[in-house]
Structure 1
Amino acid sequence: MDTLTIEGEDEAALASLPRRDPSIRRFSRRSRRLFRLLRRLVVNGDNVCDGTVTGEDYAVVTPPPDAVVGEDDVKPLPEFIGAGGGAGIFKVPVRAAVHPGRPPCLELRPHPLRETQTGKFLRSIACTETQLWAGQENGVRFWNLDDVYEPASVIEGQVRRGDEDTSPFHESVITSPTLCLLADQSNKLMWSGHKDGKIRAWKMDQRPCGSDDDLNPFKERISWQAHRGPVNSIVISSYGDMWSCSEGGVIKIWPWESLEKSLLLKPEEKHMAALLIERSPIDLRSQVTVNGTCSISSSEVKYLLSDSVRAKVWAVQSLSFSIWDSRSKDLLKVLDVEGQAECRADMPPLHGQQGDHETRVKFPTPSKKEKSPGFLQRSRNAIMGAAGAVRRVATRSAGGFVVEDTRKTEAIILAVDGTIWTGNMSGLIVQWDGDGTRLRYVNHHHRAVMCFCTFGDRIYVGYASGYIQVLDLDGDLVSSWVSHNEPVIKLAAGGGFVFSLATHGGVRGWYVASPGPLDNIIRTELSQKETLYARQDSVRVLIGTWNVGQGRASHGALMSWLGSVTSDVGIVVVGLQEVDMGAGFLAMSAAKETVGLEGSVAGQWWIDAIGKALDEKKTFERMGSRQLAGLLISLWARKEIRTHVGDLDVAAVPCGFGRAIGNKGGVGLRIRVYDRTMCFVNCHLAAHLEAVNRRNADFNHIFRLMVFSRGQNLSNAAAAGASTAAYTLKTTTNQSPGAEEVKSDLAAADMIAFCGDFNYRLYGITYDEARDFITQRSFDWLREMDQLRQEMKLGKVFQGMREALITFPPTYKFERNRSGLGGYDSGEKKRIPAWCDRVIYRDTQSTPFSESNLQCPVVSSVIMYEACMDVTESDHKPVRCKFHATIAHVDKSVRRRELGKIIKSNEEIISIFEELKSVPETTVSTNNIVLQSQDTGTLTITNNSTTSKAIFTILCGGQTIVKDDGEEEAEYNPRGSFGLPRWLEVSPASGIIKPEEAVEVRVHHEDPHTVGEYVDGIPQSEDTRDKEAILMVNIRGSCSTTWTSHSVKVRHCFSAGVCLIESKPPNLTENLDGSPREDGEEH
């Protein structure tokens, strides 16, 4: 039998203790039995002493004798692992060399650290078949798709910060922030709308990346002042005119004739070109204003959509749509988001702008006749009033949107079948016909729809959660995956990819063949090359926690606690509790939270004092902090690793007084370290010995609801990277069957560390007994009485997380300014000493002693876990815990290069891409159509395939003037985006043809409506010359990356005489990317 050996001073100390009564002797015998049971537990070959003998899944892990970490060969400490970590949100996140939960993708621009993007965040993307363009805060950039697998560009021996792993790109001169992009492939121009109200045109055929003059950014072709406010959206209509929108309900049309003349001017005549365009716009708002009453709302026009099927334009405001005729510029209809006709002259203010009085904290004031309540009652009233305000604001602005907010339209797209789809803040997606009739709605996800794009008969949807979903034309869900860890703000298709842009500036390309057999082939091949692109680094993290009891500490105390142990540390995280307390402060803190403010004078003092102890001016850099009432957490990074640490986000979850006041709760920081996510949470849980269940509930509340954020407004957050002060809440809404559950932010992290005053006490023991065990340093006995350890054994709290075995005395409760173990509370209450102040963590290990690799990227071990018993400024002792973290990560430039090799060499992949080039065989009924005034011709397109659908699009390759002698001009001049001439109507201009079916296209001549427009100096309404246009009937399959093009010559003969026309159309046909060829291909 094992016996407890008592020697020397310990024996003398025990002899001096008073005699125990029988109940204590019974307790001592029970404690010894527990201790002997602990010693008899089975120790397996892996040095894991587990609880399986009693049917539990907790474990005590002791590292092997030869286990060391770091260059200084430090031995890790034994750890206790809580039960319940293998399921649900407490399960270790899945990691792999190639993400198993989504299709393999092209990392065109890997997620850059936010700090590197100040003033140059990407806001928008647009794609052609050969290029991807991005609008950024300081201009535009583009990638040639032939170079996407290449390593980053090196300029003057250096790679630009934030673009270390980005594919080669070319960048423009500095401009105002770019808000929107539009590709005009007929004229090889990229149009951009800017925050300063200007529209700019950029030539697509810029010099290739890597040329000798890479250092010279390219310049715009033309630019002009289009609006007083920002240019929110630009489109080119079916007739080649440009439409743009801005604030105040303003919509302007820029006729193609003016744009064309300006583009013909020489570069040195830019000023004249701008003046010419600025004098030409048509202001639609003024057109529909009669006697001061306007038919459309004065709210901001956010988006425009060109309905090329029916030659219409949709203008989108938050809660309404207006539909316009592209040709006549007439307003056809105004609808609300429910599809009802809108008759009011102006829209009322949004519901979210009303009732501002609700956000104010109201403190009850007694009437003069009533007796004034006491201090405690007044304090309670103040706190509860603040709590109500916090709940109301949290519901409205931090996740639980009010009814009208969720109805706001955030995205709009035209599908190939001619239907129009819109998405709103609630995740609702609505299908409309071309006349504005609401056909159906679907809801596959509970977060806001941010963007759409289409490829073939598929609709891609980007969400604020980072998800991408693929829908068919009936709105049914085809596939879904997490594309980014931040909102997807833009999608664009081209070159065989669907590109996605997230708020952090990362750009990924998803193969149009995904999801499908292609995914498994790439995933397998790329995973086998893991050794080529896997990299490994390590960092030491020091976490300090201290309940400061509303006091302050001397510089010496801070040096003893933190400054003396940071010589080998890369990251320092400090969590403080009770920085400020009191009813008045708590109420004021809650009120400040409602308007996005946080922090206090005391909190700032502590941050500055700790920074001084860490020598932050020379050695460490302060990354950020978050305060919620008395809770404060702050983080510093060593300057040597600063380039690998960033993207700091903050969060706070209150747990006191109706889950709204921050006297209890948690504050958190999330940060990327070597491209892995680490979360640090400082908690102050419910107090009192008997409140175990409340503490467990507080932890569960914090773990599930903690949402990290940089700002309440997504676009502002992306632009400025500012931290949010107000905490946010996960919303719960009704989801459709099969809708996926979004993991909590903490559950998705590679490493989580909780620190703080958890308030778990010692149970089944008296004050005197605890003091005796402490004097004997019998901490193994005391650990068996620890509430937290018992709850972790049962899997009720900190599920699956780990804590180094405690070898220091309990840190609570002490008399201030009294040193030594004799300083424990000896007052009237004689609170039982307890380990209230703890550090508990979880990394990516699912089994002990795992090695760091891309499947288990963060492997941490505790190399120091101590309490600073010599610090006496509070009734708690500060605790520090030092981790050694080994981090495996990916060299994304190398992995992208290896992906390119696989794509180009794997025979199965080549075969899949060849199949995507298949185009159904089709025939067009005629090559020539002759029209006179108001004539209508018919064009029949037949799908000869027996199995495949055909998608057709009719564009105009250009028009020319027929000379009197019948000879044609040599050149067909295309309008913007292959738009139709004003005298020609084509309906429908695009659509789907089922197998072995045909569609009839109406080709009609119409007299020009617009007065004052000229061609070659002749008013269009008086132009009597014969004209000829080339229609391009482009055919592709439902998922084809190539198309075939049929040419149809349409001639308008003004005179009633016989018009002769060549039976053979010209053999020079412009395809979608503007190159002269009959067949097109996506590369």
Structure 2
Amino acid sequence: MDLDAAATAPAPAAAGAGDGGGSVGGSSQGGGNNNAPVFKEALTWQAYGRTPVLSMVVTSYGEIWSGSEGGVIKAWPYDAIAKSLSLSPEERHMAALLVERAYIDLRNHCTVGNVCSLPASDVKHMLADHSRAKVWTVTSMTFALWDARTRELLKVFGMDGQVESAKLETPVMPEQPMEEEVNPKAKPSKKDKSQGSLNFFQKSRNVLIGAADAVRRVATKGTFVEDNRRTGAVAQVMDGTIWSGCTNGAIIQWDGNGSRVQEFQHHTSSVQCIKALGERVWVGYASGTIQVMDADGNILAGWTGHSCPVIKMAIGGSYIYTLAHHGGIRGWPLNSPGPLDDIIRTELSNREQSYTRMEKINIMVGSWNVAQGKASAESLRSWLGSVSSDVGLVVVGLQEVEMGAGFLAISAAKETVGLEGSVNGQWWIDNIGKALDEGTSFHRVGSRQLAALLIAAWARKSLKPYVGDVDAAAVPCGLGRAIGNKGGVGLRIRVYDRKMCFVSNHFAAHLEAVSRRNADFDHIYRTMAFNKPHGSTASATSVQLHRTVNVNGNQVEEVRPDLAEADMVVFLGDFNYRLYGITYDEARDMVSQRSFDWLREKDQLRAEMKAGKVFQGMREGIIKFPPTYKFQKHQPGLGGYDSGEKKRIPAWCDRVLYRDSRSVSVAECSLECPVVASITSYVACMDVTESDHKPVRCTFSVDIARVDELIRRQEYGEIIESNEKVRSLLQEACFVPETTVSISEIKLENQENIVFQITNKCETSKAAFEILCDGQSIKKEDGTKSELLPRASFGFPLWLEVQPAVGLIKPGETVEITLHHEDFYTQEEFVDGIPQNWWCEDTRDKEAVLRINITGSSSTETKTHTINVQHCCPPSSAPPMMNLPAAAVPPSNVLASEGHSKRSSKKSQSKHRDQQQQQDYPQFGSSEVHDLCRMRCP
């Protein structure tokens, strides 16, 4: 359910589903002591076959528009919805079918001769511009502007404001050369075989380079390069402008005609949501940051609202509520920042001890370079299963799960389309799960594979309720930073509402490649991002860093790496740092004598960390086990070290390093320092022989300080109730500027325009207004009025135009509102998106009740004005009833249409149809049509 629907008054609401379903619901008075309204589903239908509903909006005239994949846009007329909602419960099975088939395919309406102005891209956002009765449909890169009344496509334009040209409706086929370059099974010609100019290793290298180049070429075509300029949110501000937020943190301001007004940027993280009230605008970012701006885009305040992306906002009462990616909801005073925040912050800080809770868990982390092999059940038990009984969380990282040029090339290609994993990778996950008694003692909470790299995590059954918000990410460091033979894969896991990141790594090999290893760590640490879905290789999950000046030269906030934001970070894997300044024989002698203290002085990693070149701010347990590399497979004991021709010097390649929340080692666990970890065990399993590396295992004892949100809310409530200053400030926040309306009764005739004024009498604050239609009534034949038919959130009747319907009024100023009567004589019926027939409009006198809501900028508290708008039809427009051809009889969904009119169209095709209709059928009154329908459909 949309968060907005939950925070607004009890009116009918529309919702879409991921399985392509749509629904309309309403509220009724619930039980219990508070008699709070309960939202109930009133009508459900299948909007799309197999594709999800990605966006939905209710237009200024009550139609429900929805967007889906491939640029498909459907509209459901108000009449069909109203008819279905009016049916009795016994007829409800017919209601869904009536609505389901009554849609209008707007994409087909814009396609002429296989040429369509709309892009075949997912319609991810929709916006109803109630100020001008228009609809915006938005894909990642384009905007389409529609007339809400006529459904006419007015304009298609890009993020740069340039109008897009119409394109042929043809499927996009993948480019053949790319497939050839990444195809590992391509066979050389006979001439190539005879020449034999390339050996196996040269061919493998060429395949990898080709795969890396393919990934880079996909990136230049928009998968990566344009990712930071995609539209992530869209909203209308009360001054009538439209704001769209980009994934690079920029915000574009548009006028009502789709022209760019300005672009500004105050943050580099992706814009996830935008919400406006009065003269203020709130923006939520993927970093968890919330910013408040004025209607001109000037930043008023900003703060960290959540520790993960802010994905939705809603306003209720004097608060704006923010929904975080992990499901948490928080409320903020609408007048923040201000004196109220300072008082509440101080009071809550004084009561911190009452809502602070301390937790302790054990975490076991294991790493193993498996050298493309598989382990026995006994080896897995020795490594992990035998010591897992007292741990709550297990994280395992593997390297070299599967290698080879063909596999790496295919993996790189799969990553470009969001695919991952392999048969070998799944084998390891399944068998490690068996060693941990998965399903009984542990539950797997997440995994990620990038070619040869794999990470997976299991939580004990008792801990699982406190584990969630698991995200994965990957960063390749192989050829061209695109191949996953080297790199890192990570999991971010929320434990007791604290973020913990675990990264399995494989850095550059060879003794002399120290600087490359340092660079691999730096690249992974800075670019690993968990906020976006992986796919299109891990480059698509990288963050933009160190951008302090935007394209307009404005200073913006710098985004910290995701790993820097975590409360605890653990790096594990084959880091490949070697022993230097020592011979093979010397190293073997020191190992046999267990002189590990002396050997540690020769450790490259220790020297680089001491120099501040790598793993800055991280620490490692004391190494008390022999070097874990390089061994001959299936040879037990220390005699198994490499004795071949190369005689690689033994080294501690396989390591586990970490940092917690402490800035100094003596800090105690608290809400300011929420995670404090200590190593209780750091060992290598020397008896495991299936690889040339030995697996390592590190166990942490972790103290976690968390907030008991229930107690904290209770404390917050007590502060609000007991503090007189707080209560006074909250009362002041509910201020609504005084306004006047120049008229209360309006009569419209003969397509005339009537103008009235709304005046803001307040000299200090702006007033926001919104005009709604509470309902309309019809004048019966005996001269009496029918019962008022409520329209709730379903906009204006089609015969009435109100512009502007929303806006801001400056202090002491007046705004003019224009009412216009539209007089059209035909209506259309659509079945399965195809127009079936048309009929005359209702020509009886009508009366609409308009409600003008006035609000301030710090509360949803409203003051209302009411205007009755009467429409009187000329007597000549309702001639006596005449015989009707069957095609002219309106369908059953007209029964609930109490005053609809034909949507105007400026196309010559519609004009010709209207002229033909007037020649074939005489004009008639809708009252007689209503009677005929009732006779046909008892």
Please give the range of the TM-score, normalised by the shorter of the 2 chains.
0.7 to 0.9
* Residue 731 of structure 2 is aligned to residue 914 of structure 1: yes
* Aligned 8 A contact 1:129 1:494 in 2: yes
Distance in 2, matches of 1:218 and 1:771, equals 73
Q: Deviations over 1:127-170 (max 9, x none)?
A: 36656xxxxxxxxxxxxxxxxxxxxxxxxxxxxxxxxxxxxxxx
* Aligned 8 A contact 1:256 1:975 in 2: no
Query: What letter matches 2:618 in structure 1?
Result: M
Distance in 2, matches of 1:543 and 1:839, equals 8
Q: In structure 2, what is the equivalent of residue 1039 of structure 1?
A: 858
* Residue 735 of structure 2 is aligned to residue 735 of structure 1: no
Give the one of 197, 213, 219 matched to 1:372.
197
Q: In structure 2, what is the equivalent of residue 220 of structure 1?
A: 41
* Residue 765 of structure 2 is aligned to residue 953 of structure 1: no
* Aligned 8 A contact 2:737 2:855 in 1: yes
Give the one of 171, 194, 214 matched to 1:389.
214
SS state at 1:461 partner: strand
* Residue 7 of structure 2 is aligned to residue 125 of structure 1: no
Give the one of 496, 515, 527 matched to 1:705.
527
Greater alpha carbon shift after TM alignment, 830-839 vs 228-237: 228-237
| Residue 455 of structure 1, CA deviation | 1.3
Distance in 2, matches of 1:991 and 1:944, equals 16
* Residue 400 of structure 2 is aligned to residue 571 of structure 1: no
Distance in 2, matches of 1:919 and 1:321, equals 35
Q: In structure 2, what is the equivalent of residue 66 of structure 1?
A: none
Give the one of 432, 441, 464 matched to 1:619.
441
Q: In structure 2, what is the equivalent of residue 675 of structure 1?
A: 497
Distance in 2, matches of 1:686 and 1:470, equals 45
Q: 1:807 to 1:917 in 2, by over 3 A?
A: same
* Aligned 8 A contact 1:651 1:727 in 2: no
Please tell me the root mean square deviation across aligned C-alpha atoms, in Å: 3.9
Give the one of 958, 970, 973 matched to 2:789.
973
- Please list, as runs of the form range in 1=range in 2, the aligned pairs for 1:926-1005 lying within 5 A after superposition: 926-961=743-778, 969=785, 971-977=787-793, 979-1005=795-821
SS state at 2:616 partner: coil
* Aligned 8 A contact 1:921 1:945 in 2: yes
Q: Deviations over 1:159-208 (max 9, x none)?
A: xxxxxxxxxxxxxxxxxxxxxxxxxx6xx322223455554322212524
| Residue 361 of structure 1, CA deviation | 0.9
* Aligned 8 A contact 2:470 2:494 in 1: yes
SS state at 1:662 partner: coil
Q: Deviations over 1:1010-1030 (max 9, x none)?
A: 4479xxxx98756253x4433
- Please list, as runs of the form range in 1=range in 2, the aligned pairs for 1:330-349 lying within 5 A after superposition: 330-342=152-164, 344=166, 346=168
Q: 1:700 to 1:206 in 2, by over 3 A?
A: same
* Residue 327 of structure 2 is aligned to residue 512 of structure 1: no
Give the one of 194, 204, 223 matched to 2:27.
204
Query: What letter matches 1:635 in structure 2?
Result: A
What TM-score does the superposition give when structure 2 sets the normalisation length?
A: 0.81
Distance in 2, matches of 1:1031 and 1:1047, equals 6
Distance in 2, matches of 1:557 and 1:848, equals 36
Give the one of 435, 449, 453 matched to 2:275.
453
Give the one of 13, 18, 37 matched to 1:190.
13
SS state at 2:515 partner: helix
* Aligned 8 A contact 1:683 1:754 in 2: yes
* Residue 178 of structure 2 is aligned to residue 358 of structure 1: yes
| Residue 775 of structure 1, CA deviation | 4.5
Q: 1:702 to 1:210 in 2, by over 3 A?
A: farther
Distance in 1, matches of 2:108 and 2:201, equals 62
Query: What letter matches 1:755 in structure 2?
Result: L
Report the identity percentage. 56
Greater alpha carbon shift after TM alignment, 545-554 vs 520-529: 545-554
* Aligned 8 A contact 2:382 2:685 in 1: yes
Alignment: residue pair count:
858
Query: What letter matches 2:363 in structure 1?
Result: V
Greater alpha carbon shift after TM alignment, 763-772 vs 849-858: 763-772
Q: In structure 1, what is the equivalent of residue 891 of structure 2?
A: none
| Residue 694 of structure 1, CA deviation | 2.2
Q: 1:713 to 1:201 in 2, by over 3 A?
A: farther
* Residue 610 of structure 2 is aligned to residue 801 of structure 1: no
Distance in 1, matches of 2:682 and 2:29, equals 59
Query: What letter matches 2:25 in structure 1?
Result: W
- Please list, as runs of the form range in 1=range in 2, the aligned pairs for 1:763-778 lying within 5 A after superposition: 763-778=580-595
Q: Deviations over 1:580-625 (max 9, x none)?
A: 4444554454444445444455544544554444444643344444
Query: What letter matches 1:993 in structure 2?
Result: I
Q: In structure 1, what is the equivalent of residue 685 of structure 2?
A: 868
Give the one of 834, 838, 857 matched to 2:655.
838
Q: In structure 2, what is the equivalent of residue 412 of structure 1?
A: 234
Distance in 2, matches of 1:292 and 1:252, equals 19
Q: In structure 2, what is the equivalent of residue 401 of structure 1?
A: 224
Give the one of 313, 322, 328 matched to 1:491.
313
Q: 1:401 to 1:206 in 2, by over 3 A?
A: farther
Distance in 1, matches of 2:841 and 2:450, equals 69
| Residue 746 of structure 1, CA deviation | 1.8
Q: In structure 2, what is the equivalent of residue 901 of structure 1?
A: 718
Q: 1:473 to 1:349 in 2, by over 3 A?
A: farther
* Aligned 8 A contact 2:407 2:451 in 1: yes
* Aligned 8 A contact 2:478 2:487 in 1: yes
* Aligned 8 A contact 2:670 2:705 in 1: yes
Distance in 2, matches of 1:452 and 1:955, equals 22
Greater alpha carbon shift after TM alignment, 357-366 vs 890-899: 357-366
| Residue 756 of structure 1, CA deviation | 2.5
Distance in 2, matches of 1:226 and 1:687, equals 55
Q: Deviations over 1:39-94 (max 9, x none)?
A: xxxxxxxxxxxxxxxxxxxxxxxxxxxxxxxxxxxxxxxxxxxxxxxxxxxxxxxx
Structure number with the bigger relative contact order (C-alpha 8 A, sep ≥ 6) is: 1
Query: What letter matches 1:997 in structure 2?
Result: E
Distance in 1, matches of 2:92 and 2:441, equals 52
Q: 1:823 to 1:1030 in 2, by over 3 A?
A: closer
Distance in 2, matches of 1:996 and 1:850, equals 57
Q: 1:1020 to 1:810 in 2, by over 3 A?
A: same
SS state at 2:132 partner: coil
Distance in 2, matches of 1:553 and 1:419, equals 62
Greater alpha carbon shift after TM alignment, 386-395 vs 893-902: 386-395
Query: What letter matches 2:4 in structure 1?
Result: A
Q: 1:725 to 1:700 in 2, by over 3 A?
A: closer
What TM-score does the superposition give when structure 1 sets the normalisation length?
A: 0.71
Q: 1:379 to 1:296 in 2, by over 3 A?
A: closer
Distance in 2, matches of 1:504 and 1:358, equals 38
SS state at 1:471 partner: strand
Give the one of 856, 860, 868 matched to 1:1049.
868
Q: 1:679 to 1:1006 in 2, by over 3 A?
A: closer
Which 5+ residue runs of structure 2 have no aligned equivalent? 830-837, 876-938
Q: 1:658 to 1:525 in 2, by over 3 A?
A: same
- Please list, as runs of the form range in 1=range in 2, the aligned pairs for 1:1060-1075 lying within 5 A after superposition: none
